[in-house]
Amino acid sequence: MASYTAPLRDMRYVLFDLMEGDGLASLPGFEDFTRDLIDPVLDEAAKICEQVLHPINRSGDEEGCAFENGVVRTPKGFREAYTLFREGGWTSISCDPAHGGQGWPKSVGILIEEMICSANLSFGMYPGLSHGAYVALHAHGSDELKDTYLPKLVDGTWSGTMCLTEPHCGTDLGLLRTKAIPEGDGSYKITGTKIFISAGEHDLTENIIHLVLARLPDAPKGVKGISLFLVPKYRLKEDGTPGASNGVSCGSIEHKMGIKASSTCVMNFDDSIGWLVGEPNKGMRAMFAMMNTERLSVGVQGLGLAEASYQGAVTYARERLQGRALTGVKHPDKPADPIIVHPDVRRMLLTHRAYVEGSRALAAWVGRAIDHEEHHPDPAVRAEAEEFVALMTPVVKALLTDLGFEATNLGMQVFGGHGFIREHGMEQYVRDCRIAQIYEGTNGIQALDLVGRKLPAHAGRNLRRFFHPVSAFIEAKVEDEQLGEFVQPLAKAFVRLQQATAQVARAGMANPDEAGAAATDYLRLLGLTALGYLWAKMAEISLAKLNDDPDGFHRAKVATARFYVERVLPQTNALFAMVMAGGKSMMDFDEAAF
């Protein structure tokens, strides 16, 4: 059976060495978050993920959710695990202390999210969606709505959902039809059908708070006529406890490729009473508050699954005895050599490892920027951090889920036929990861967001928040004797990225199809260059610690950095060529010939 051990050593490295986590406590509001508090919290989160959530991951996948007469039953053990998770206060970790939250920094929260995703992504969906609803409500709800609903969302007594998609509209929300009729008393009657609603119905909490996009009677057409409403499953009684049913029902649940223990529901709203969140017709804005957080979280899902898969692959590669090393017998005492002796197996494991550790560093970098965006005393620093986060949000979402899927596939490949069968849990990681490339905006949409919105915004200022630190680092270190082998390839990739950026801006300005054609390859080019930068920085940090490295951690870090710049970063060559080739070969292709 698959096992999972939280990679606390690497997490602490990323947090305290790479991101100088000790500096967190100097931010106003974060005074308590010193290392002596962060360490035990990471330890305890790891314990719960390893001992409570992971053991019900595969059983949850096998059993799935059950649907009967409108009621959804989560798999065996999920209720108990959720109760423990909730009572432990883990639903409230990143929430506002004013509403009962623990106010933890994002750069720590993101590591705990990763552990949850590694241990049991399906389980993580339930508190994850609640958190999305929390974010939207916290940012845009009236004080009355916040006081009524936030404390119970924060402490996990109730859960939340985000109801966007309808049968005929997913990416293009402008088409949505769900209606909201004002009742004259400040409330609205909501009617319509939503699909693909994660955690829409389940048996973990006593009430479910839906955030629903709908149209007012006089709303303009398209996305400018969409408003956001809060619609509880049960209306609240005078005392604030759940009372009568609110016309919200689950029509069915989907049968999916992965995350089978997460209920994906068709939700019907039939004259359900709801309340406006934010301003009329400004629902998309309110929704984006949540969507940006969720996009980062989805990126972290790819990372979490990749980590879990890596652990399985390494263990198997050491234990599986099969054939002999190409250069002669390595373990004469055994009937065959473990497959880890083979170059191709090492190629898979190191690619996997370089993706995972690089992705973790990128997630932490963005997490740290969010902490600055929200807590730094200097408004200029806050603004710069916000621009960086805006730029990197689609990159984290798409790159980490694409790499996550490639990595989980490699993990399965290491197992050979034993990866394809269900017993070892490796194919589950692949299946669970697949949705992360699709939901919260497909990765194609993320690429368009990057190229169409984030690059041109503020005359390219967002991009500078990324380009400046990279070029400053290259300039300072390119001549460094020890670091040169890492920085020189990075410098080359960076030049390619700069040229590609100019090309996308130029060609895209003249013809939007050119930007669209380049988008996906451009996003990956930018993402792999960002990872190259982080790998070079990690090489620098670990090279300086090689003298005090009893467990070989830093030696392995430097070696993985070397693998990354030699064997992964060259992908940027091909990506550069593809971006520069333009989109003519696609767009000229006769549609009838497809």
Partner 1 sequence: MKVLVAVKRVVDYNVKVRVKSDKSGVETANIKFSMNPFDEIAVEEAVRLKEAGTATEIVAVSVGPQAATETLRTALAMGADRGILVQTEAEIQPLAVAKILKCLAEKEQPGLVLLGKQAIDDDSNQTGQMLAALLGRPQGTFASKLAVADGSVAVTREVDGGLETVALELPAVVTADLRLNEPRYASLPNIMKAKKKPIETVTPEALGVDVAPRLITLSVEEPAKRQAGIKVADVATLVEKLKSEAKVI
87: burial class by Cβ within 10 Å (0-12, 13-18, 19+)? Answer: exposed
Of 41 and 336, which has the nearer Cβ to partner 1?
41
> Do the Cβ atoms of 535 and 354 come closer than 8 Å?
yes
CA distance 245 to 233: 6
Give min distance, CB of 127 to partner 1, in A: 13
DSSP state of 15: I
Residues that bind partner 1 (CB under 8 A): 5, 8-9, 32, 36-37, 39-41, 43-44, 47-48, 52, 84, 87-90, 92-93, 102, 550-551, 553
CA distance 442 to 284: 17
Give min distance, CB of 52 to partner 1, in A: 8
Question: Around Cβ 41, how many Cβ atoms within 10 Å?
Answer: 17
CA distance 516 to 508: 8
CA distance readout (Å), 461 to 368, 455, 491, 545: 19, 8, 21, 36
Residue found under tokens 């790479």: 18
- 440 included as an active-site residue: yes
Local structure of 545: helix, strand or coil: coil
Cβ-based neighbours of 423, under 8 Å, separated by 6 or more: 1
CA distance 63 to 86: 23
Give min distance, CB of 100 to partner 1, in A: 10
Spot the catalytic one: 357, 387, 440, 514: 440
Of 90 and 429, which has the nearer Cβ to partner 1?
90
- Helix 512-543 with 553-563: angle, nearest 10 deg: 150
Give min distance, CB of 480 to partner 1, in A: 27
Cβ-based neighbours of 98, under 8 Å, separated by 6 or more: none
Give min distance, CB of 349 to partner 1, in A: 20
Of 328 and 550, which has the nearer Cβ to partner 1?
550
DSSP state of 232: E
Of 331 and 567, which has the nearer Cβ to partner 1?
331
Of 84 and 495, which has the nearer Cβ to partner 1?
84
The encoded tokens of residue 70 equal 């409108």
Give min distance, CB of 537 to partner 1, in A: 21
Of 159 and 292, which has the nearer Cβ to partner 1?
159
What are the catalytic residues? Answer: 440
